[in-house]
Structure 1
Amino acid sequence: MAEEQPEWKRLKLSVERPYKDDQGHPIPVLLDITPEGQHIYEPRKDLTTTIGEKLHRIFLERGHNFFEKRVDDRKQESVSATQVAESSDVPDDSGSAKIMTPEELFQLRIELIPQLHIALGEMSQAKDLLSVLLAADSASQPSSSQPLLSQLSLSQPLSQTLSQASQQSQPDLPAANLTSTTVAKPPPVQSVHAFNTQLTIGGKDKALRHAAGLFKSAAQGMEKSRLQSEKYWIDALKIRRNNWGLIPAPLPPGSATGKGADRTSKDFLVSFGLEESPIVFKRRAIGRMSTIDSESPSLRLPSRQHMRLQVSLVQTVTQGRRISGRSSCATALEEVDTQTTLKAAQTEVVEQEIFSILVREASTLPTASARVSERLIAIEAAHATELRFELVDSDLVPPHAGDSTEELQATCDLIYSSLHLLLLRSHSHAKSLRLGQTTAAAAQPTGSPLTLQPIIDMLQYRGFCQRIQTEIQRVVVALSNAGVATKFYFNAVGEEGEELITQLLPRSQLRLSGECLLRIDNRRSLRFTFSSPSTLTAHLSQATLPITHIPQLVQLLGDEVTACLLERICEVGGGLCEYVHGTCER
């Protein structure tokens, strides 16, 4: 037989709802607590009222004539069921069962109650007999139990036998043998009792600690949920204050969308794309506020690709040496908060849209050849000048090349900024067409403003101006070495900033122009004007000549310098000599 477990091992904490307090009184069910602190309990139901409600329910469900059905009909149904069961060849136990009527049940009760009373009396007498026998002193009366037991016979009723035995044995039993004795459990050893008490207290303490741990974890979860909700709405208010777009989030899958269903959005999305961007880039420019884990970033951008646009120029100089430069605007931003994260993501989407436009227009350039791949566009924009547009990882910062120059880097930054302005110009044109705000002259079917061609024209104009300046500068250096006083003024871009911004309007065309002035020996001046992409005009005192190529410019400069020098030589000779029929007299 297994040993009985100690009390501390059998200690159990019930998870059921307690229905009595420590004094044994029933605990009422709390329904509500008023603002004044008053407790409202569930009223106790009376047993009589409950029984009355159940009886009333019986009459409502089964009719008022429930107790008025005829007994004969029930008997007739039972008799017919019995006859059908007997007539069948195969006995069916389920078919022989019948329902007893209240009258038959009452008759059965009358027959069984007397027999049950007889059995109860015999059991009571047997119990009394056993109590007497156990209380008797076996040492003082060793032979009194044997005659008494020998008198028990199965032929006589138990009550008659017991009465005879009690009459015969009554004088032999003393009164002291029928008294009761109370036996108390011996007190346990003090150390064992203290150990058992410690085990019991330890078990209760463990259960209480476990319950306290459950309450603590639940409180921590509630506090974490509160902090997440507070952070969610603080970030949302910051986003709205910074004028970022908030749009309703779509309903989760499985939501009811039928007539009368609640189709109100329970969340919102952050839209940081441009208004007139294609739908593909608008879908990329969508963010979602995180509501699950506070350790992850609060703003999730599922379609972010972390790709930035980098503009670079590669130019071939004397003796085949190549110099390069790239834009410095493609450096990664430190995303320390939601505002900077949205700015970085918006910049990436805008630059990807610019790159897609450049890919579309690179194949139709009229004045330059291009090589297009998935993430690189290489264009021979001008003489010995290659322009590259490349999508690079935003986290990757390439090192500066040793042959890079500040001039090319500044030019790349200018191209990078101009691409954003040209993109906004195309968006403005698309918006004006969409809203129908164009004039009658502009309502003709015309294409959208180009984005890449103005950049190519600007680079070609830059190379054109550099070659003109190089040729004129060579003449200036030669005259200076010969001791002829010269003044040289060169301005490649003569327009002001406001005028250049005006040319970026949707119905305008970007045109750059400049001028150059060369004064030789303070007496003869040469003025040249030029405009993009490669138009040069010489303004002389005799006429205005258009120049179509560089050799023509070199020839014109040589002629003008030669004429100026010959005229100066003649003036100097006329001051030193006298002319007599073409001869000089001493």
Structure 2
Amino acid sequence: MAAQHSDKRIKLFLERSIERLPFDITDKAEEIYLPDGDPAEKLKRKIKIISDVAGEKFDEFTENLPSPQDQLDENAESQESTTQEEGASKDQSQGSEVAVAATTVNVVANTRVTSPQGIYAKLWHAQGEIGIALDVLNIIISSYQATGTGGSGLGGAGSSGPGGLSISAPQNGIPSVLPPGSLKCEYVPKATQSTAVQNANDKLSLGSKKHHLKNAANILMQGAQKLKRVMANEDQFWAEALKLRKNNWCIVSAKSGGGGGYHANRMASASQLFVQYGFRDVGSLFGDRAYAELIRNHSMTKARGIQLNIPNKTSKVIVISLARQGQPHTHESRSSKFKDSRTLHSQILNAQTTLFDAELFQELVNEARSMTNSVSIVDNEIFLPINDELELKIAYKTPAEEDTTSTTELDNSSTSIDKSKDARRLEGTADIFRCAMQLIQHRRHRFNIKERTDSFFKSSRPGGGRVAGSFGQIQQTLQHRPTAMLSLTLQSLQYFSFSKKIHGVICRVTRTLRQSWWEPIRVHSVDVKSAPGGASSVLEASSISAVSAVASSVASTAAAATQRVTNHGMGSAVTISMGTKTPAVRFVLRSHPSPCVILQLSDRPPSPITHVAEFERILEEELASRAIQRICEVLNSVEKWSDKAPTMQSPNFVMDIEKRCVGVFVIPAKQSNGKVPLHGSTANVLLEIHMKAEAISLTLKCNQGERTTSSRIYFEDYQLVNTGIFANPQSNGVHPHDGDNQPDNAHKARTLEGFRQWLQDRVLATLDLDTKPSK
């Protein structure tokens, strides 16, 4: 065995380890090395490197390694076997340990183990290898101590060869596993490098250092430029955000609970900012999202540093139109004008307008569904019939380009010539009611705030009837509160349509009086709005018109929505006067429960009149009655009827039950000159007035015994012949005596004396007492 082992030689060359490279150099050119650290730390670091490099295949490297439990069992068996061999030497025991370790590795079953068990197995395997290495080092050290005691260093006496050392069996050393003389150690010193090599290495290190410094400088430069851009972007971002705040927009963060729950139902970080443009803080109960996210704009071709992520991207508004029944709705109200979206402020304003109109349309749809009228809802349009002639359409749509162009063309009179007067009036009325609805919605928001405040203070007081903290119940109560916006609008439009018809009737009836009567005809209208238990408020008296009716209806609608009282209707007190000595005709326009006219007459009770034709007939009768009464007074004021019959008695004209002017003339007896007709002694004269839209006529009937004569005269004859008012008729089709279009010289030409003389001549001509009546 000794000869066999002596044939095998193991050479072990020991060299110094490679020099560590410095990781940095100080300003004084001093190299800085990383510290070695604790051995335990090194072991952990190396184990981590092994596991990271292996990754998921770590088990494949350790599947043939033993598990810790199997190794413990086999260690116990080996210990028992060593104790039984008491005569074995210590060298044989170490050999058995190495054999046990080798057999342990070979008999391990091919079982997959976990990562920690694999690490334990590797450590156990390494322990056996370390044992062999320790044996080698022990032999080297013991041999050096045995032979080199007389010299210093490894190259002392006893060494075989230059710088060598022959190993012999140790006398008092540690027993070795291998037989003596099988290991030899030779020390080979590292060759010194030449100056050229050292210079080349230094140049290489210096160039590498410069290269790394250049890369580091580039990295620092790029970081500085990036930081500069970030600072510029942040300055622009916060400058625009501050500009929004100066425009009184509320900016909240996601951390405060503002925009996180209202932005696409996604998780928002605390650094995100939102602009609140809704009406929740001012009393709105609308549940739509009203938060626009402020996003930093990182694009290269950017005009501003902020982008808005607005939920209400589709701009829709409410458009109201009035049209005749059976005609298309071509004339719409002016929709809310959208701002130019080039600025953030205008974008938020457009989104706010869309949100407000969406809430308003939802309120209108909810009310329309609860109405009993023939209201139809198709998609985003509400059709509401006003009466037999008009229909209201409320649409929630995207404003088209033609709508905006029509609103601009409406302001220019030269471009709106093709529109009829009625169409422009309907379009203006629709615009007024759209503004009125928006005003009512704003006031409802204010009322909601007031109701919340009252409910809160009521719940805070002892015995207030509510439990403190029931704000959710109060809000739910407010949300289910009924609205009356659409019904009030319907009532106002019905009143507007009815008052417009009444206005047309008054214009037609008083037109002939304005052009024929010698006294001024004046129509006064006073808008009356009364609340239950309160005094009526009277506006300034003005001529009746459709615009005043619309203004009064809108004002009453807004007041009813603000006060939240039962609307007892809108009204107008109208007075038609035919001079200072004639009793005026008075009536009242009411809108509740339905549009009607109540005449204030002495000979009939004040009953409501809902039909326009019936009102026109009664008004013509009343005006005719007052006109014939005034004509009776004029005829009674004639002192001398004819120079040819000075003894003829002046009759006393009175109005009979049929509202005719009746007078009896006493004609003198026959004279010899033949100038007085021989027809009898008395003559009955009846005057009956007819009020028509074309002209006012007066029928004269004369009964003289058996002879009856009748003639019909027109009030316009005298004025047209003498004044020439209608010599140049207007080309626009408007009657010259309608409202303010009455000529200035009309009242100057028509006087009481002239009318009296003209009427006297017509009566005498009927009696054949004057053959040439004066004009």
How far apart are residue 410 of structure 1 and its match? Answer: 2.8
1:92-128 CA distances to partner (integer Å, 9 max, x unpaired)? 9x79867148576332456697899656679xxxxxx
* SS of 1:304 mapped into structure 2: coil
Distance 1:73 1:550 in 2: 139
**Cα separation, 1, equivalents of 2:522 and 2:630:** 19
| Residue 266 (structure 1) aligns with | 271
Contact 1:232 1:291 in 2 (8 A): yes
Matched, 1:19 2:24: yes
Q: Contact (CA 8 Å) 1:247, 1:270: kept in 2 or not? A: yes
Deviation at 1:305, TM superposition (A): 3.2
Q: Does 1:316 align with 2:332?
A: no
Counterparts in 2 of 1:83 and 1:449: CA distance versus 1, 3 Å: closer
Superposed displacement of residue 74, structure 1: 8.8
State the match for 1:571 in structure 2: 633
Partner residue in 1 for 2:285:
278
Separation (CA, whole Å) in 2 of partners of 1:484 and 1:556: 23
Q: Does 1:532 align with 2:591?
A: yes
Closer, same or farther in 2 for the Cα pair 1:302/1:341, shift >3 Å? closer
**Is contact 2:597–2:615 with CA below 8 Å preserved after alignment?**
no
Q: 1:478 aligns with which of 491, 512, 534?
A: 512
Specify whether residues 100 and 251 from structure 1 end up closer, same or farther in structure 2 by C-alpha distance, changes over 3 A only: farther
The 5 Å alignment of 1:57-456 reads 78-81=94-97, 84=100, 99-100=131-132, 105-108=137-140, 217-249=222-254, 265-275=270-280, 276-281=283-288, 283=289, 285-293=290-298, 295=302, 298-316=306-324, 325-366=331-372, 368-394=373-399, 396-398=401-403, 399-400=405-406, 403=419, 405-437=423-455, 447-456=481-490
CA separation of 1:491 and 1:323: change in aligned 2, threshold 3 A: farther
The 1:461/1:55 distance shift into structure 2, 3 A limit, reads closer
Q: C-alpha separation between the residues in 1 aligned to 2:213 and 2:396?
A: 62
In 1: Cα distance, 2:309 partner to 2:586 partner: 58
Instruction: Quote the residue 2:660 is aligned against.
Output: none
Cα-to-partner distance string for 1:457-512 (whole Å, 9 max, x where unaligned): 11111101101111111111132344454523253745659985644325235543
Matched, 1:505 2:562: yes
Cα deviation code 1:342-367 (max 9, x no counterpart)? 2221111001111111111123334x
Distance 2:102 2:651 in 1: 171
- With 449-458 and 469-478 compared, the bigger mean Cα shift is at 449-458
Q: Would the alpha carbon gap of residues 451 and 584 (structure 1) be closer, same or farther in structure 2, given more than 3 Å must change?
A: same
Q: Is the 8 A contact 1:307 1:352 kept in 2?
A: no
Rounded to whole Å, the distance in 2 between the matches of 1:270 and 1:584 is: 96
Task: Report sequence identity in percent.
Answer: 18
Which one of 503, 516, 520 corresponds to residue 574 of structure 2? 516
C-alpha separation in 2, matches of 1:381 and 1:24: 98
- The alpha carbon displacement at 1:409 in A equals 3.4
Shift of 1:545: 1.8
Deviation (angstroms), 1:303? 0.8
Offset, 1:82? 5.0
- Name the amino acid aligned to 1:298: I
CA 1:120–1:372: 2 relative to 1, 3 Å: farther
Cα contact 2:22–2:32 (8 A) shared by 1: no
Q: Is the 8 A contact 2:514 2:521 kept in 1?
A: no
Deviation sequence 1:191-215 (CA, Å, 0-9, x none): xxxxxxxxxxxxx999999887765
Report if the CA contact (8 A) 2:585-2:623 is conserved.
no
Number of residues of Structure 1 aligned to a counterpart in Structure 2: 445
Residue 347 of structure 1 aligns with an amino acid whose one-letter code is T
Name the amino acid aligned to 1:554. Answer: E
TM-score of the pair, normalised by structure 2: 0.48
Change (3 A) 1:544 1:299: farther
Q: 1:555 aligns with which of 617, 621, 644?
A: 617
Q: Distance in 2 between matches of 1:286 and 1:217?
A: 37
Counterpart CA distance in 2 for 1:395 and 1:220 is: 47
Q: For the structure 1 residues 536 and 251, does the alpha-carbon distance in structure 2 shift closer, same or farther, using more than 3 Å as the test?
A: closer
1:253-304 deviations in Å (ceiling 9; x for gaps)? xx9xxxxxxx9933332211112333532x1x11111125262672413311
- Asked if 2 retains the 8 angstrom alpha-carbon contact of 1:426 and 1:450, the reply is no
* C-alpha distance 479-235 of structure 1, shift in aligned 2 (>3 A): same
Distance 1:245 1:365, change over 3 A: same
Give 1:99's aligned amino acid: G
Residue 314 of structure 1 and its aligned partner are, at CA, apart by 3.2
Q: Describe the SS at the equivalent of 2:485.
A: coil
Question: For 1:489, what is the secondary structure of its paired residue?
Answer: strand
Whether contact under 8 Å (1:429, 1:448) holds in the other structure is no
Alpha-carbon distance between aligned partners in 1 of 2:584 and 2:232, rounded to the nearest angstrom: 78
Sort the Cα spacing of 1:17 and 1:473 in 2 relative to 1 into closer, same or farther, 3 A: farther
**Which runs of 5 or more residues in structure 1 are unaligned?**
1-15, 29-43, 59-71, 123-183, 185-203, 256-262
For the 8 Å contact 1:287–1:300, the answer to whether it is kept is: yes
- Match of 2:513, as an amino acid? L
Task: Tell me the distance in 2 between the aligned counterparts of 1:105 and 1:73.
Answer: 20
Please give the alpha-carbon distance, in whole angstroms, between the structure 2 residues aligned to 1:436 and 1:73: 105
Provide the rounded CA distance (Å) in 1 between the counterparts of 2:344 and 2:158: 88
**What SS does structure 2 have at the residue aligned with 1:280?**
coil
Paired with 2:340 and 2:133, the residues of 1 have a C-alpha distance of 91
Structure 2 contact 295–308 (Cα < 8 Å) conserved: yes
Gaps of 5+ in 2: 1-20, 44-87, 109-124, 145-153, 165-195, 197-208, 261-267, 407-415, 459-463, 466-473, 529-537, 540-550, 642-648, 653-662, 669-775
Deviation at 1:420, TM superposition (A): 1.6
* Secondary structure at 1:372 match in 2: strand
Q: Rate the CA distance shift 1:99–1:73 in 2: closer, same or farther, 3 A.
A: farther
Q: SS of the residue aligned with 1:388?
A: strand
Q: Distance in 1 between matches of 2:651 and 2:501?
A: 44
Q: Deviation string for 1:217-255 (max 9, x for gaps)?
A: 433322221122223323333333333333331599xx9
Partners of 1:330 and 1:564 in 2: how far apart?
51
Q: Is the 8 A contact 1:529 1:538 kept in 2?
A: yes
In 1, Cα distance between equivalents of 2:223 and 2:41:
46
Q: Would the alpha carbon gap of residues 564 and 363 (structure 1) be closer, same or farther in structure 2, given more than 3 Å must change?
A: same
Distance in 2, matches of 1:73 and 1:435, equals 102
**Does the C-alpha gap of structure 1 residues 86 and 267 become closer, same or farther in structure 2, counting only changes over 3 Å?**
closer
**Given the superposition, is the C-alpha separation of residues 548 and 508 from structure 1 closer, same or farther in structure 2, using an over 3 Å criterion?**
same
Q: 1:77 to 1:475 in 2, by over 3 A?
A: farther
